[in-house]
A and B are shown apart, each in its own frame.
Chain A
Amino acid sequence: MARLDDEDRTSGAVDRETIRRAYAADPFEAERRLFGRLAHADRRGFLRGAGLAAMGAALGAAMPFHRNFPSGLVPAAFAQDSEAELMAGKDGLTLLNERPVNAETPAHLLDDDITPYERLFVRNNGLVPQSALEQNAEGWTLTVDGEVDNTLSLSIDDLKNDFETVTQALWLECGGNGRAFFNPGASGNQWTTGAIGCPEWTGVRLRDVLERAGLKSSAVYTGHYGNDLHLSGDPEKEAISRGVPIDKAMEPECMIAWAMNGQDIPALHGFPLRLVIPGYPGSASQKYLTRIWVRDQVHDGAKMGGYSYRLPAYPVAPGTEVPEEDMEILTVMPVKSLITGPATGAEVPAGQPAEVRGHAWAGNGDVRAMHVSLDFGQTWQEAELDGPPNKYAWQRWRAEVTPPEAGYYEVWARATDQNGVMQPPTTPGWNPRGYGNNMMHRIALFAV
């Protein structure tokens, strides 16, 4: 597995657009002409000499397993423009991963009641589709099929014209938000606290569309599909395809959205159409939505099985290997809150009240109470808590804390849901993939 030398990297570079067009016209001819590869009967063939160097140069990296790369398949990196460039439109996010794009937002940048595009976290499982990068929704159709009386094929105009349009503030949180705090570590992006945001979505109720299709009595689950490309570049593979129980899908807050904060949904967040299933892990809210398959069983699409978005059915010690059959699907997200102001490490005057504020949310609906502590959880005071503008919008809270003398303090924040369930001070049940960590957020305050 020799690396390409610098000369090889720069020689014979072919631009991405040329590659894309050539592959679209005739993938096998494109490969022969651009890279000198002749496909064998099994659609695999060595790239040799100049051809390998040219592909490496165009990729910006060597392609060590080219022998395994099926002929006639556009290498994923050529398939589209660099989606990483889109991150330039984000403000202050921490990039965890470039491919796929995953980035989280520091808590103090999440202070807005409605999260602006610039500060909304990004969690993609596959590659941003070319249609989204080009903001091209021409000919887009949403298919609703399976356990329905009438299969629907809806254009975006059909959705806009034939159903009631609704606008709601709905939070989305990655199921793995807080994964970084589990020990031993859980695999996946190491989100700390920032895979959460609450934009305003415009679209139609998922329920209205499902009712138009007519659910059969056999309908038990939804299965969601989008047109994002799997990381391997294999067009036959789904990047992700999750679903929710029909009862959840029929909640009036669940949406098929085409706008976020009054604009077309941005490329990173699901252009031109996405689901918003509030209260569930964000992965249920399929981006780049093309199809809703109503199932007569629990959906078995990509990342529904194994350890993905699943928790052990019983409490386990940290690091336990749990058999796959003992894993259960993560559904309702736990109660949680963030301190969004001031930023951690802020200086405040000793002996004077300082305002702290943030948001609170719960997967089962409204948050009942919010408390803060300035002494490492020894005493608590109740914070002022606003009601949400609609169900599943996060709720603003604020409190005044008074550090008695100069020194180091921490603000701990604790939300309580409508069942009286509170956030824990440390990580809740360890699980192999690190989901559902709703431990209290805490920030440092220096009283001077």
Chain B
Amino acid sequence: MRCDLMGMTRGRRRGRRPAGAVLRRAAWLAAGAAVLSAGVAAAQGYDPMRPPQQQVPGAAAPETAPEVDPELGGLPVGPGAEDTFYLCSACHSISLVTQQRLTDERWDYLWTWMIEEQGMPEQDAETRETILDYLKTHFSAER
């Protein structure tokens, strides 16, 4: 929404343009007007600083949104979700997991930190791999 609106205001401010640009500008204005009317209706609370990973409260979930399991603290459905839920929620709420978008190396580091500094019980190699794969798949800065 922000890009469309900024495009519109830029279009208004600028002066003479080549013909092609004028056509593009008209398209911008038409699109911008549509967005502006929708935007003003939804203006209350619009926040240009809203981080992309935060959902808009009340907004419809995008079609690409992963299916989540409410029984597992809202974790996305997938291999490892159950193991992840039980290991992590033993100490902290799952919302601390679902907020993250980390590199693979940071997830590996956090695993070790949880064991060495935070008292998380050691897990067998298979469980470790299952859970870290799940975290790196669903809460990644890389994919």
Contact = CB atoms under 8 A, between A and B. Distances in A.
Interface residues of A, number: 53
Contacts of A1: 82-83, 86
A62 interface: yes
Contacts of A208: none
Interface in B25-49: 36, 39-40, 43-49
Contacts of B137: none
Contact of A321 (B83, B101, B105, B141): B105
Given A189-B99, A190-B99, A61 B9 contact: no
A180 B53 contact: yes
Main secondary structure of the interface of A (DSSP, over half): loop
A306 B71 CA distance: 34
A32 interface: no
Interface stretch (A114-122, A140-148, A157-165, A229-237): A229-237
B48 A444 contact: yes
A78 interface: no
Interface string A52-92: 00000000011111001000000010000000000000000
Interface string B93-128: 101100111110110011001000111110000000
A133 interface: no
A192 B51 contact: yes
Contacts of B105: 321
Contact of A181 (B49, B90, B109): B49
A151 B82 CA distance: 51
Given A68-B121, A185-B102, A230-B119, A61 B43 contact: no
B53 A410 contact: no
Interface string A192-203: 110000000000
B113 to A, nearest CB: 7
A323 to B, nearest CB: 12
B107 to A, nearest CB: 9
A100 interface: yes
Contacts of B91: 76, 99, 231-233
A446 interface: yes
B139 to A, nearest CB: 8
Contact of B51 (A62, A190, A448): A190
Interface string B1-32: 00001101100100000000000000000000
Contacts of B82: 1, 3
Contact of A98 (B5, B49, B93, B109): B93
B64 interface: no
Main secondary structure of the interface of B (DSSP, over half): loop
A405 to B, nearest CB: 8
A184 interface: yes
B124 to A, nearest CB: 12
B86 A64 contact: yes
Interface in A264-290: none
A345 interface: yes
Contacts of B8: 407-408
Contacts of B45: 343-345
A96 B86 CA distance: 19
A347 interface: yes
A302 B71 CA distance: 33
Contacts of A306: 113, 117
B142 A185 contact: no
Contacts of A180: 51, 53-54
B25 to A, nearest CB: 15
Given A442-B49, A446-B39, A319 B121 contact: no
A442 B49 CA distance: 7
A153 interface: no
Interface in A306-350: 306-307, 319, 321, 343-347
A65 B100 contact: no
Contacts of A343: 44-45
A432 interface: yes
A185 B102 CA distance: 5
A11 interface: no
Contacts of B49: 181, 192-193, 344, 441-443
A181 B100 CA distance: 12
A347 B40 contact: yes
A448 to B, nearest CB: 7
15 contacts: A1-B83, A68-B121, A76-B91, A180-B53, A184-B101, A185-B102, A190-B51, A190-B53, A233-B91, A343-B45, A344-B49, A346-B44, A376-B6, A408-B5, A446-B43
- Shortest Cβ-Cβ A-B pairs, 8 listed: A184-B141, A185-B101, A345-B46, A232-B119, A68-B121, A64-B86, A231-B91, A408-B5
Given A98-B95, A185-B101, A189-B96, 4 more contacts: A61-B89, A65-B86, A347-B40, A408-B6
Interface of B: 5-6, 8-9, 12, 36, 39-40, 43-51, 53-54, 71, 82-83, 86-87, 89-93, 95-96, 99-103, 105-106, 109-110, 113, 117-121, 141-142
